[in-house]
């Protein structure tokens, strides 16, 4: 539960629609879900969660504490996670990202993800506007 609360707290400082701690507790206890975290002296500074099945994985969420962004933390987390998933026999990794999320797009492109589809109006922003999601894929 401690990890779930830490993830929920960071998720709330990173996304407009926070996921509750109970949702993280459920995900962390679920066998097809893999998670990795970065900790500094017992404080969570970043985490990534993905779900996998039949040789395919999907990144569910990734976030870095706002005070630690722009220093390569997400890159290190993603590289570690991708290598762990490859070791589990996952051949392809997918994700969805808001096309306006420049930091996340740089991160994913740098790590080998390419666009495979666009979902127009997929996200509803806090001000009610709709945003396009890009579906990206990377072979592990």
The answer to whether residue 85 forms part of the interface with ligand COA (CB under 6 A) is no
- Taking the C-alpha atoms of residue 34 and residue 84, their distance in angstroms, rounded to an integer, is 9
- Taking the C-alpha atoms of residue 35 and residue 20, their distance in angstroms, rounded to an integer, is 16
**Which listed residue (101, 115, 122, 131) binds ligand COA by CB under 6 A?**
101
Q: Going residue by residue from 39 to 78, which x/- string records binding to ligand COA, judged by CB under 6 A?
A: -----------------------xxx----xxxxxxx---
Which runs of consecutive H residues, i.e. helices, occur in the chain? Answer: 2-12, 21-28, 73-87, 102-110
Residue 35's nearest CA partner among 71, 62, 1 is 62
The answer to whether residue 132 forms part of the interface with ligand COA (CB under 6 A) is no
The answer to whether residue 80 forms part of the interface with ligand COA (CB under 6 A) is no
Q: Which is nearer to ligand COA, 31 or 120 (CB)?
A: 120
| Residue 72 near residue 46 (C-beta atoms within 8 A) | no
Footprint on this chain of ligand COA (rule: CB under 6 A): 14-15, 62-64, 69-75, 97, 101-104, 106-107, 110
């Amino acid at each position: 539960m401690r990890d779930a609360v830490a993830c929920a707290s960071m998720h709330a400082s990173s996304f407009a629609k926070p996921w509750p701690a109970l949702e993280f507790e459920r995900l962390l206890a679920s066998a097809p879900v893999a998670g990795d975290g970065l900790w500094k002296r017992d404080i969570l500074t970043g985490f990534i969660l993905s779900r996998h099945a039949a040789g395919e994985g999907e990144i569910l969420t990734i976030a870095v504490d706002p005070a630690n962004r722009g220093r390569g933390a997400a890159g290190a987390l993603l590289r570690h996670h991708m290598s762990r998933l490859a070791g589990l026999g996952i051949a392809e990794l997918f994700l969805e990202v808001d096309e306006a999320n420049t930091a996340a797009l740089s991160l994913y492109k740098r790590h080998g993800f390419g666009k495979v589809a666009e979902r127009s109006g997929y996200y509803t922003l806090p001000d009610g506007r709709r945003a396009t999601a890009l579906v990206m894929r990377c072979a592990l």
